[in-house]
Amino acid sequence: METVISVENLRKTYGKTVAVHDVSFGVRRGEIFGILGANGAGKTTTVEILQGLRTPTGGRLEVLGLDPARDAEPLRRRIGSQLQSSALPERLRVGEAIRLFGRVRPQPVDVAGTLAAWGLEPLRNRPFGALSGGQRQRLFLALALLGSPEVVFLDELTTGLDPTARRATWDLVRQVRDRGATVVLVTHFMEEAESLCDRVAVVDAGRLVACDTPRALTAHQGGPVRVTFAANGYDPRHLLRLPGVEAVTVDGGQVSVAGQSSAAVTVAAALAEQGVTPDDYRTHYPSLADVFLALTGRRITEEDS
């Protein structure tokens, strides 16, 4: 697949503070590429450099074949952006915002069509200050997509939203990709990255510590698959002989089997052969949160976020 963003040994310093340390990755056309990490990891600095909003200290990078530092103006005509600190005047109405932002796009913007496409027609005359968090994010996405940009940068899009609004916003992000844009999504939400992203760059303290698909990261970095069920007098020690099983423990009447991904199937089959059908049989697959813990030695907390 065509690479639309290429980053090689990107570095950004502020005095003696290193915000981004020799980061390298590529983004392919048509994918949702996630940059995942805690607050202060260098995520926002990286995407602001990619948009020509900050100047790198070192490294080589191209976005759509352009150097963001040298070609900032032509680049901005081809990208869309929703920054972490996005806001609009409280009294600016939704329809007015689309009309205003449309004037700076290189091609004419169909205001009525944009309102309809993003479900904003009922909100046309509502001021920004009266919008809910989810409605604001819907508007920001509509503004970011004005002029059909080739690459869209979304920075902490769902911070502050309730779970229902967050999932609705995820559907909107998928629509952005389905409309033909490449999406670079900055987030600290593990579930968000796992649900949306085709590939994820995990960053910590300014460094890239992993970059792959969520499935590959969890398979290789997230630790073993675990199967749990109540013992109820059953002796599980023979399960250690099964292919893919690495450990079997019993604690307080609860059996825990750890191993490779195939263990979930082989354990279930072995239990069924012996007529053991526990009601609480559960398979626990590693998540991106487990990957982050394995790679950095810590979890992202609410304070980090």
Domain total for the chain? Answer: 2
Closest CA to 301 of 84, 15, 39: 39
Same domain, 72 and 177: yes
Domain holding 96, by residue range, is 3-219
Of 21-35, 65-79, 130-144, minimum mean pLDDT range: 130-144
Write down which residue in 196, 219, 242 finishes a domain: 219
Same domain, 209 and 234: no
Same domain, 233 and 214: no
Banded model confidence at residue 85, pLDDT cuts 50, 70, 90: low
Instruction: Please report the pLDDT score of residue 219 as a whole number.
Output: 82
Domain annotation covers residue 290: no
Banded model confidence at residue 77, pLDDT cuts 50, 70, 90: confident
Query: Can you give the CATH number for the domain in which 42 is found?
Result: 3.40.50.300
Instruction: Please report the pLDDT score of residue 206 as a whole number.
Output: 93
163-178 vs 133-144: helix crossing angle, rounded to 10: 10
Q: Is the pLDDT of residue 16 over 70?
A: yes
Q: Is the pLDDT of residue 86 over 80?
A: no
Same domain, 64 and 198: yes
Region of residue 205 (phi > 0: left; psi between -120 and 50: alpha; otherwise: beta): left
Same domain, 47 and 120: yes
Same domain, 208 and 232: no
Q: What is the mean pLDDT of the chain?
A: 90
pLDDT in tens, 182-231: 999 999 899 999 999 999 999 999 999 999 999 899 888 878 899 999 99
Same domain, 35 and 136: yes
Same domain, 201 and 232: no
E-assigned strand segments in the chain: 3-14, 17-28, 32-36, 58-63, 79-82, 151-155, 182-187, 199-204, 207-212, 225-230, 245-251, 254-259, 282-284
Query: Can you give the CATH number for the domain in which 265 is found?
Result: 3.30.70
Of 99-103, 104-108, 283-287, minimum mean pLDDT range: 104-108
Domain annotation covers residue 299: no
Region 137-152 average pLDDT: 88
Domain annotation covers residue 118: yes
pLDDT in tens, 24-36: 999 999 999 999 9
Region 18-22 average pLDDT: 94
Same domain, 66 and 119: yes
Write down which residue in 176, 194, 219 finishes a domain: 219
Same domain, 40 and 140: yes
Same domain, 199 and 251: no
Same domain, 80 and 198: yes
Q: Is the pLDDT of residue 108 over 60?
A: yes
For strands 207-212 and 199-204, give the pairing.
antiparallel
Distance CA 236, CA 238 (A): 6
Domain annotation covers residue 46: yes
Tell me the torsion sign for CA atoms 85, 90, 94, 100: negative
Model pTM? 0.82
CB 21 within 8 A of CB 207: yes
Region 81-104 average pLDDT: 86
Alpha helices in 86-131 (DSSP H): 94-102, 111-117
N- to C-terminal Cα separation, the chain:
33
